[in-house]
Amino acid sequence: MSSSAQHTLRIQSDVLLSDLTTIHLGGRARYFAACRAIDDIREALAFAREKSIRVCVLGGGSNVIFADEGFDGLVIHIETSGVAVQDDEDATMISAAAGEGWDPFIERCIEKGLGGIECLSGIPGLVGATPIQNVGAYGQEVCDTIVSVRALDRETLDVVEFPNRDCGFGYRQSRFKSTDADRFVISDVKFRLRKHGRPEIRYPELQRFIASTADLNSLPDGEPILRAAREAVITLRRRKSMVIDPRDPNSRSVGSFFMNPVLTKEQFAEVQTRWENAGGTATVPTFPSGERIKIPAAWLVENAGFHKGYRRGGVGVSLNHSLALVNFGGTARELINLAGQIQRTVYKKFGVELQREPVIVPA
């Protein structure tokens, strides 16, 4: 997965970035390099260093928003490929190059009867992006199955390996997003998946949906039961326009725009008090998060007045999910302004600061 390039890297100019993102926003990159091997990435970084220009590493474009003015630097597009499988007694180690599509990778694992990532089905993007944000959904996170992450150090151009314990994983968080943001380019990720896997359905919404559509107890372990879980997850995601579909205008987004706030008990009590003082009668919905309390960001957004279908200029809130901000033919500036308005209104009403999930790349 880190074989040497067999060609001289081609550096392109003036490449339109909106075509490479799921939200279809952003201007043109001054320089652009499609990197299919580690040596391509090294060559691209050396080019940027020689020119003294900024670098933006781009994967599947499902969690990034480029400025309308574009990017006055080099965009490195990760297009590496390769999957390696190693069997253990009770598990299978499977390594995937950063440029492998995430959902096709899950499909491949399920075909082999390997469990542990089936509830992350339907999420767009590439394998290499999943550790950065510790991607999670429906009760699973990638940190549950990641063994190690290999990455290229942008300063030394050496490949280094991080075992799970050294990745700094947290809720939608890792060292690659926080302390070491922009220091490494992930090259491949190794997972430990269960043979003849059986899904662990922890998320209440998914539990209810599966109970109404299938009898999991009647399905054998491995591919049949994992596929049933996968199909249920994709169905739920599609209903929320969280599966990229050119036929669905509400899927022209970066998925969930805000993270669910995790609060102390005292902070939550303040939210509940503010809600009641504003005339709210129902209890604020919560999920446990260790010693803390997690509030659905979608609930905060809706109850701050930004209902599903809310429109402002050429952007708005998805008709099917209040956490998805959608491009309806607008601009990146409009979208970022809407996000800021939502954040300010939620803070004013509930005293909670919503944190963005997507990366906003300045020109």
Positions annotated as catalytic residues are 172, 256, 357
- What are the residues whose beta carbons fall under 8 Å from the beta carbon of 54, sequence distance 6 or more? 48, 71, 72, 73, 74
- What are the residues whose beta carbons fall under 8 Å from the beta carbon of 21, sequence distance 6 or more? 61, 62, 64, 65, 66, 254
Q: At what angle do helices 223-239 and 102-111 cross, to 10 degrees?
A: 150
CB contact at 8 A, 221 and 198: yes
Strand order across the beta sheet in which 71-78 lies: 11-16, 28-35, 71-78, 55-58
| Nearest residue to 65 (alpha-carbon basis) of 238, 308, 255, 248 | 255
Distance CA(294)–CA(223), nearest Å, equals: 33
